[in-house]
Amino acid sequence: MRALKSIGLRVGRRLAASVPALLGVVVFTFVLMRVLPGDPAVFFASGPNAGQAEIQMIREQMGLDRPVHEQLIRYFAEIGRGQLGRSMTTGQAVVADLRERLPASLELTLAALVLALGFAIPLGILAALRPNSALDHVVRFVCSMGVCVPTFVSGLLLIYVFYVVLGISPDPTGRIDIFAASPPDITGFLLIDFAITGDWAGWYAAAGQLLLPACTMALFVLAPLARMTRASMLAVLGSDFIRTARSIGLSHWKVIVVHGLRNALLPVITITGIVFSTMLGANVLVEKVFSWPGVGSYALDALLGSDYAPVQGFVLMMALAFVVVNLLIDVLYGIADPRVNVE
Amino acid sequence: MSLLQVQDLRVSFSTRRGVVEAVRGISFDLPAGRTLAVVGESGSGKSVTAYAVTGLLDRAGRIAGGKILFKGRDITHARESELRALRGAAISMVFQNPRAALNPIRSIGRQVMDALSAHNSLTGREKREKALDLLRAVLIRDPERRFDAYPHELSGGMCQRVMIAMAMACEPALLIADEPTTGLDVTTQKTVMDLLAKLVAERDMAMILITHDLGLAAQYCENVAVMQEGVLVEQAPAAQLFQRPQHPYTQRLVAASPTPRSTVQELVGEPPAPPIIRPAPAPGAAPLLEVHRLTKLYDGFKAVDDVSFTLRAGESLGLVGESGSGKSTISRMVCRLIDHSGGSVVFDGHDIGDVKARDFHASRFRREIQLVFQDPHESLNPRFTAFDAIARPVTRLLGITDSRELTGRVEEAAERCGLPRNLLGRFPHQLSGGQKARVGIARAIAVGPRLLVLDEPTAALDVSVQAVVLKLLDDLRRQDGLAFLFVSHDLNVVRMMCERTIVLRQGQVVEQGDSAAIFAAPSDAYTRELLTAIPHFDPVAA
């Protein structure tokens, strides 16, 4: 009960503290979009030979003829109503667009993160148990390759090997085979929706589509996770309480897992939060390569098209995601480490 | 038959500078149910010996020769699985620094249960019951409530009791205690050691006590073995060893250990120095330092509560007390490193408490009040050479920038502290503990202070080095007429170094007065408790 209350208190305090940061993000992107060269009204006018009057009309329609501070106040009012404006490219409300595309990005990112953790933690532990062994060097090499090869290169490489040469992976475009029926939209996460409806053939197809982009992404973040696990595991294994655990005659694996790993994972939790947030934004290249209908490619298209509202909406959403992820990590950390609750 | 026989044991470590022999052929026998102390200074190989016996040497170390027989069985090169079966069940260990020795994110109850289940198959309930019994046996009050506590929620002494409970869990025949009370207060040390001795005697266990404290060895062990640089130089029953030490190293070690009667000069084998005679202060003259009703609050908690004292020029005053007594806090307020919450600090007739701690570096009194820190290893900047460390305050506080003058000053300070000139270019990691302590002192006296505040200046040093450093400090005080505010938990050291002593407890003054009088006839019960808790071997008495 005491622990729950303390967690609740911390969550509340963190949320309150993040409000100014979010406001700052909104203002900053808003102003930035306004000072960037390019006039959206010109861009969205019906054709290259649209008249001055037509452009002026669009400008007035979009409210671009008002002073910037007035536009900003209107934007805030809109946020207050739960709206983020309308995208000129898709013609839909930005909120609706994001809601449609966010699950795709989240599904990809989460799958990649699970994959990355699934490989990084065991590899990190193995490397830490045999520091400077051949295995350690192999892990280091794989990690270095993962970071230094850009995702669009490794993505294309994976496509070439598994789709073109071996032919074991499905056509790498989109979340689902274009001829397959998509599941009813329940959560937006295809794997979950297929599982709920019990359509396992669909589930496998979607998972197959997901695998390559997720691997590409996972390869990219393998390094920070594995290296962190290795470093913190090495530090923990050298600490006094591991010696104590050995001195009372505990078996090797119990020393490593119960006393070593649990302590070593604490810093990995923090890194995982940072990695997740970065992935959510850095997805854009992978989304482009695999024609993944996610928020990253959506925002990039909007940015290139001088479409203000989606970019602003995307940045605000990312900031919110950052806050939420950090909060989640904080709570997790508080549960995992009893010392945190002291303050 | 002996429980443990060590024959010509050699342990070597492979380091970057080649193979180093940490233990070079030592032999001893330990019969069942007996107690042996292994004493020596840092680097003597005493802990390495213990780790070799339990097979807990770290990766770089290996047994290079000799034999270890446990109950007649050769375990020198036993496989890890055999050793694991022995550890905890037949040989267990208690470590120093108990808080770090326990897993910080596992409750103490679970850790005791881990120790139980390592060698027994018990049901969950049995385990819990036995663990509670063990916690009761090590005198942890209210064990049901403490069962789910984490190490950081307990005091150091409590953590050590938990560690002892874990070591006792499977009733081993041999307990190895590696500096079990280093870092604990004297009264806590006494309760922990008494408990350990009682449990060992009750369960008819044998104990090896590894310690640097000769008093502890004499008080709790029947036999004492002295180690120096990996060699066992002398082994004898405790009383005999301390009364008639045979080996020159043992003799030096015994002489260097502070006792209730020793003087600083005796520790290093010099004739006693005459008492310091100061001219009587002019009537009405202000004392050098006047601390009046000093108080420090931390979040409403009174760390220092209404403490007043005075210090005349050239006088030395000791502040003693256990952890949490506020002695270090007082010293920091006097040095103006932290601000006080109430009261005044008057130095040489000026209220220096008015200057904020963060601005005091610019005060003209900064050079008058200098500090010598506790840990010579931690308190030197690793990127500064010894010369830089000493020169820094000289340039900042005296404004000397001329390189010839600066060098002269630094070299003079170093020479007075017995630091050879050729060591000045070295970085801290290239210096020994004693040399680093000298750098710390040279840094403090280089600017010519009138008051030196010493916060446990020798706590991290070996006894023989401590003796030399104490002698150096005493000489400097005599030559320069420095006043000392000497903070220590070691009552013998304070008695030797200080003319007057203040005993503190929980931020309050328990007793103050002439050192000789306080130590000869303490008027307060707490002071008496502190004094009786000091382990001593007393080579003179008997």
ipTM of the complex: 0.83
Arithmetic mean of pLDDT, A56-75:
77
Indicate yes or no: CB of A248 within 8 angstroms of CB of B88.
Answer: yes
Closest partner residue to B56 (CB to CB) among A243, A258, A263 is A243
CA distance B210 to B176: 8
Using the predicted structure, report yes or no on whether residue B477 has a pLDDT greater than 80.
yes
Q: What are the residues of chain A with a beta carbon less than 8 Å away from any beta carbon of chain B?
A: 238-241, 243-252, 254, 258-259, 262-263, 266, 336-339, 342
Task: Say yes or no: domain B287-368+461-542 is CATH 3.40.50.300.
Answer: yes
Task: List the alpha helices (DSSP H) in chain A.
Answer: 2-35, 40-44, 52-62, 68-80, 94-129, 134-148, 151-159, 190-197, 200-237, 240-247, 252-254, 262-282, 284-289, 295-304, 308-336
**Fold topology of B2-256:** Rossmann fold (3.40.50)
The DSSP string of B235-246 is EEEHHHHHHS--
Residue spans per domain, chain A: 2-80, 101-172+211-342
Closest partner residue to B95 (CB to CB) among A240, A252, A338 is A240
Indicate yes or no: CB of B103 within 8 angstroms of CB of A245.
Answer: yes
Read off the pLDDT of residues A281-299 as tens digits, 9 standing for 90 and up. 778 888 888 888 888 888 8
% of residues, chain B, pLDDT over 70? 98
Question: Considering only alpha carbons, which residue of chain B is nearest residue A255?
Answer: B114
Read off the pLDDT of residues A200-216 as tens digits, 9 standing for 90 and up. 887 888 888 888 888 88
| Phi and psi torsions of B64, nearest 5° | -95, -15
Confidence of residue B6 (pLDDT cuts 50, 70, 90): very high
CA distance B249 to B228: 8
Indicate yes or no: CB of B92 within 8 angstroms of CB of A247.
Answer: yes
Indicate yes or no: CB of B106 within 8 angstroms of CB of A243.
Answer: no
CA separation (Å) from B40 to B43, B60, B375, B432, B527?
Answer: 8, 22, 20, 17, 29
Confidence of residue A343 (pLDDT cuts 50, 70, 90): very low
Question: Considering only alpha carbons, which residue of chain A is nearest residue B149?
Answer: A338
Minimal Cα–Cα distance from A338 to chain B, Å? 6
Read off the pLDDT of residues A234-283 as tens digits, 9 standing for 90 and up. 999 989 999 999 999 898 888 998 899 989 998 998 889 888 888 887 78
Read off the pLDDT of residues B320-341 as tens digits, 9 standing for 90 and up. 988 888 898 999 999 999 998 9
- CATH 3.40.50.300 residue ranges for chain B: 2-256, 287-368+461-542
Read off the pLDDT of residues B168-187 as tens digits, 9 standing for 90 and up. 998 899 999 998 988 788 88
Residue A45: predicted pLDDT? 66
Using the predicted structure, report yes or no on whether residue B206 has a pLDDT greater than 90.
yes
Indicate yes or no: CB of A244 within 8 angstroms of CB of B163.
Answer: yes
Read off the pLDDT of residues A166-196 as tens digits, 9 standing for 90 and up. 878 777 777 777 666 677 777 778 778 878 8
Question: Considering only alpha carbons, which residue of chain A is nearest residue B168?
Answer: A248
**Mean pLDDT taken over chain A:** 83
Closest partner residue to B87 (CB to CB) among A247, A266, A339 is A247
More confident residue, B490 or A43: B490
Minimal Cα–Cα distance from B129 to chain A, Å? 19
Using the predicted structure, report yes or no on whether residue B541 has a pLDDT greater than 50.
no
Arithmetic mean of pLDDT, B78-97:
89
Arithmetic mean of pLDDT, B402-431:
90
Collect all residues of chain B within an 8 Å Cβ-Cβ radius of residue A252: 80, 84
% of residues, chain A, pLDDT over 90? 11
Using the predicted structure, report yes or no on whether residue A342 has a pLDDT greater than 70.
no
Residue B287: predicted pLDDT? 87
Arithmetic mean of pLDDT, B225-241:
91
CA distance B353 to B291: 10
Question: Considering only alpha carbons, which residue of chain A is nearest residue B81?
Answer: A251
**CATH pick for A101-172+211-342 out of 3.40.640.10, 1.20.1090.10, 3.40.50.1100, 1.10.3720.10:** 1.10.3720.10
Confidence of residue B386 (pLDDT cuts 50, 70, 90): very high
- How many CA atoms are closer than 13 Å to the CA of B168, on its beta-carbon side? 26
